[in-house]
């Protein structure tokens, strides 16, 4: 009986499968390391400061501009139907459900993700990670776990802050055109908001924060080829995180839509 010819696998498929395996192994290692002591609380607080406080000016500016621009763009459409009184409700729903979480995640993917990828990549190519292993410090736990937990914790806080700043920008625009009061804006804006809206917005930011931290740490922790690899790690952190965020946005929206239909 003639022997079967060997199955030839495309190099691209082989690299993709290997990448999926390594990423899955990295995720399992993170979960195992996160639940076991020591917890490096001081480094975790420091990373929360780096992710949260240092991102605050950019989040403030972006959230404020988004609130103003979205209000200005929505007014003509509602005015055509004589429904400008719905502006506060429309802006509030849009910010809480989608705009604030997504804008915050994209900003953090660009600013925080590239920083983590470059920092860990630089430590890898200069052999600082190997030096930590020699000094009896678990570099994975000290570098990867703390940064991923910091993004997971701080991106939701930044998302809520972005929504509030966006509402301030929207209110100032509405006040300048319709002379609305603060109490009237809040009442009109939040009367259509449900617990599911708040929950879905916070859930998104938790998922986005975890994704940014894990992907950026993975790219930086496994960087190779010297300084050129550091640049690739920083770039790949941003691109992969952004792509994953958009995929997660679609999946979470589908899940929330299904829950609303129950």
C-alpha 199: how far from chain center:
16
For the chain, the domains span: 12-260
Residue 110 has a pLDDT of 92
To the nearest whole number, what is the mean pLDDT of the chain?
89
Q: What is the pLDDT of residues 224-244, one digit of tens each?
A: 877 788 889 999 999 999 999
- pTM score of the predicted model: 0.91
- The Cα–Cα gap between 108 and 116 comes to 11
Instruction: Give residue 234's Cα distance to chain centre.
Output: 16
pLDDT at 7: 54
Q: How many CA atoms lie within 13 A of 107 on its CB side?
A: 26
Q: In terms of Cα–Cα distance, which of 67, 104, 111 is closest to 207? A: 104
The pLDDT confidence band at residue 49, using thresholds 50, 70 and 90, is very high
Tokens of 236: 């790949």
- 3-state SS, 144-190, equals HHHHHHHHHHHHHHHHHHHHHHHHHHHHHHHHHHHCCCHHHHHHHHH
Q: What is the pLDDT of residue 213?
A: 95
Q: How far is CA 101 from the centre of its chain?
A: 8
pLDDT per residue as tens digits for the range 83-105: 788 888 999 999 998 999 999 99
pLDDT surpasses 90 at 12: no
Looking at residue 45, what is its pLDDT? Answer: 94
pLDDT class for 69, splitting at 50, 70, 90?
Answer: very high
CA gap 231, 234 in Å, rounded? 5
CB 123 within 8 A of CB 129: yes
In this predicted structure, the answer to whether residue 79 has a pLDDT above a threshold of 60 is yes
Six-digit token string for 80: 């055509």
CA distances to 65, 137, 189, 239 from 168, in Å? 10, 46, 12, 31
Percent of the chain predicted with pLDDT > 70: 96
**25 vs 11, 30, 135, 242, CA distance in Å?**
21, 9, 24, 21
Which of the four pLDDT bands, split at 50, 70 and 90, describes residue 165?
A: very high
pLDDT value at residue 172:
92
């Amino acid at each position: 009986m003639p022997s079967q010819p060997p199955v030839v696998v495309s190099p691209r498929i082989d690299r993709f499968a290997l990448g999926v395996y390594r990423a899955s192994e990295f995720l399992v290692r993170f979960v195992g390391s996160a639940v076991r002591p020591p917890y490096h609380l001081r480094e975790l607080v420091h990373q929360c400061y780096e992710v949260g406080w240092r991102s605050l000016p950019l989040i403030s500016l972006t959230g404020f501009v988004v609130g103003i621009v979205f209000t200005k763009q929505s007014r003509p459409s509602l005015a055509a139907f004589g429904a400008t009184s719905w502006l506060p409700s429309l802006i509030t729903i849009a910010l809480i459900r989608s705009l604030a979480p997504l804008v915050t995640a994209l900003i953090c993917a660009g600013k925080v993700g590239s920083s983590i990828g470059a920092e860990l990549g630089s430590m890898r190519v200069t052999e600082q990670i190997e030096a930590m292993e020699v000094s009896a410090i678990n570099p994975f736990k000290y570098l990867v776990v703390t940064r991923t937990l910091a993004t997971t914790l701080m991106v939701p806080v930044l998302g809520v802050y972005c929504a509030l700043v966006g509402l301030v920008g929207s209110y100032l625009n509405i006040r300048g055109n319709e002379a609305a009061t603060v109490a009237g804006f809040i009442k009109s804006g939040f009367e259509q908001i449900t617990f599911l809206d708040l929950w879905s917005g916070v859930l998104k930011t938790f998922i986005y924060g975890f994704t940014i931290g894990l992907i950026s740490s993975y790219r930086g922790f496994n960087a190779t080829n010297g300084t050129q690899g550091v640049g690739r790690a920083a770039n790949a952190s941003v691109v992969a995180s952004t792509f994953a965020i958009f995929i997660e946005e679609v999946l979470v929206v589908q899940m929330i839509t299904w829950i609303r239909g129950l």
